[in-house]
Structure 1
Amino acid sequence: MLTTKKLSGALLTAAATLFAGSALGQGLGNSPYSRFGLGDNTGNYGGVRQLGMGGTGLAAPNTVNVNDLNPALLTYTTRTTWEAAFNGQVQTVRNATSTNRVGSGTVGYLALAVPLNKRWAASAGLKPYSSVDYEATQLVPVNGDPTSRGYAKYTGSGGLSQAYLASGLHVLRDLNLGGSAAYLFGTVNQGQGLAIIAPNITTQQLVVANEELRYSDFLFRASAHYRHQLNKDLTVNLAAEQTFQTNLKTHRLRTTEQQDANGAVINNTVQLSDDTGNSTLPALSQVGLTVDNGRNWTASVDGSYQQWSRYQPYSLLSSQKLSNTWRVGAGGEFTPDPGSVEHYFQRVTYRVGLSVAQMPYAPLGTRLYDRAVHWGFSFPLPTATPWNRPR
């Protein structure tokens, strides 16, 4: 059972989860395509183990890591486990005339899994859902005035996070079921400014339309996992997961203001509207296949499909139509000798994976794809005293 010391550790972990909310909402540098929809979607790709295998592992059980990708896999949790991850990146954004390189970092996720009895386990955590962070400018012609140009500026910041509770139940010998409820929340601020650049205008003034969108609602998903041993050296796993469509409650505040060339507000900000509506978030379907030998290797293939064409925004500044998306990933892990005593690196777990995904937007009619190579390692450390599973 939990001792007072161990319970205090759990409470500290929960407190850290709550205070990390603002860090999760931070962007990862200028990302022009986060202007569309709800921003750059982080996707349901699991934790550090799954990301090292190409974002796969929907059907890959594990007794060491938190099985965040599929709640049904929580039944394999044998001891209280917590995980924390941090994201860092350096990205280059370039066009025909300029190049911009930025680096940044933010909290990736926090997760805590607890075995409740022999057949039941639960987890709680906090992770990002999407991120908005962009700033772009554009020169456009002015109708009827060939000597003038329109200067347009687009800005956006913010994002959505989700705090969730998940549970997995061992139903039959080879079947596990799971589900989760997440509270989705966050704020996105966007602005569009326009100024006229002409020979007879010495002082530029930017007329800016601002929009603040505050999102909040619940997001539910259900999953299943089937595991069957073909022989003593080969086991096959199948999994499916459905994240259901939801209507996000959206509070929208629209304002307008004038700014000088340095971005300082010239006149008072004028409120245009303050209302509430809904943004339709489409369902996500995922399937996975994994084979393993139950000892030192695992190979997985996952696929997902989301109907972003059904996305309905409650935004006037980001109302572009999106298209349906799909993603396929393949990867695996290998531990040369998990029980080796003399050779440390024989106990290291090596992971590698590949993934390709179709993006939900097509600027100028060009379909975009996200292709990635993934890899990672797990280095064994001395094990801590387990929090005993209740009987």
Structure 2
Amino acid sequence: MTASESPKNLFTNEFTQNPYPVYEKLRKSDPLLNLMFPDGSYGWLVSSYEDAVAVLKDPRFIKDITKIYGNEYASVFTSNMLFSDPPDHKRLRGLVQKGFTPQIIAGMRDHIQDIADELLDAVSSQDSMNLIDDYAFLLPIIVISELLGVPLEDRDKFRIWSNSIIGASNQETGEEVNQHMNEFVQYLGEWFANVRENPGDDMISQLIISEEQGDRLSEEELYGVVTLMIIAGHETTVNLIGNGVLALLEHPEQRKLLQEQPDLIHGAIEEMLRYNGPVEFSTSRWATEDFEFRGQMMKRGDLVIVALDSANRDPEQFNDPDIFDITRNKSKHLAFGKGIHLCLGAPLARLEGEIAINTLLRRFPNIELRSDIQELEWRPGMIVRGVKEIPLSIK
């Protein structure tokens, strides 16, 4: 790479707007690059598909940082299956996956459709809407709130807290972030106490009942589960809908095809996940020992992060990867990860995306972007990839 593209200059505003030209160069010259991340830590960035799959499936790269650096790195927000390794991972995943069976997900279709229609009813008298605030945020937060048992009137608080959790994961600090994190912890503590007194049939009630029946779910793990569900069960879907609609707006021939053949939505969602996925980077992994990997020496404690959106544009795996094609043959994209940490909520995210996008196109067939796509502000950070606002004309 040239000096202007050195690791110090990788994570720029220009990169956040469109990282794909940089990823193309990285895959060719430095598919396993040692660099400094935005939080000041040093580690390896993996950009090719083959290497990405290898990292995601290799048990020598672990998720629990406390096994490397001790309990001082423990957090109530990371005591969940996403940041755990076997055997804890299997136990935690087993408890949570009871709420994500195929039967439960399939049974939610009609209700999700009702939510989508109600949200679009609310803006139908207007000439415009903000896709994120009016629709893409609201639909999944309503669904996950109901699934978890969160009072619906608290959903706006959860958006603020969700943004702060993501900010904290990017090592952002400040009085406001700390305040939000403290509010979130206090809210969860009061909520769990209330559920213990008055359990329902929601996921959190079932997890608390399981805990009291001796299934070894600690208080910290309850905090971790809720945090994971908010980010994985909400943030991912927000940006799947947002990025997916943007891709259709950028490719009017693909949008026209989907409107004419709405049954193509299943393949369209897979292509949206591949083309500009909602999770740009994997969460952190650490090498458990010294070993050689893809020609580079890994040292115990080395940080490794996979650029999922780069792997999903790798021409070694995908034909014409920079072309958005909703009729593309089913691809083995990595938008939901790979291996034992494959996203448990992927079927729900897919269902929400399918319903949300097809309903939007059916209800408002003439949507147009009310600004230049280059002027949209992409959210900073090392987890989700999505824009803050998408103003649309809907008449």
TM-score, length of structure 1 as denominator length: 0.23
Q: Greater RCO between the two (CA within 8 Å, min separation 6)? A: 2
Mark the structure with the bigger radius of gyration.
1
Between Structure 1 and Structure 2, which shows a larger proportion of strand residues?
1
Between Structure 1 and Structure 2, which shows a larger proportion of helix residues?
2
TM-score, length of structure 2 as denominator length: 0.22
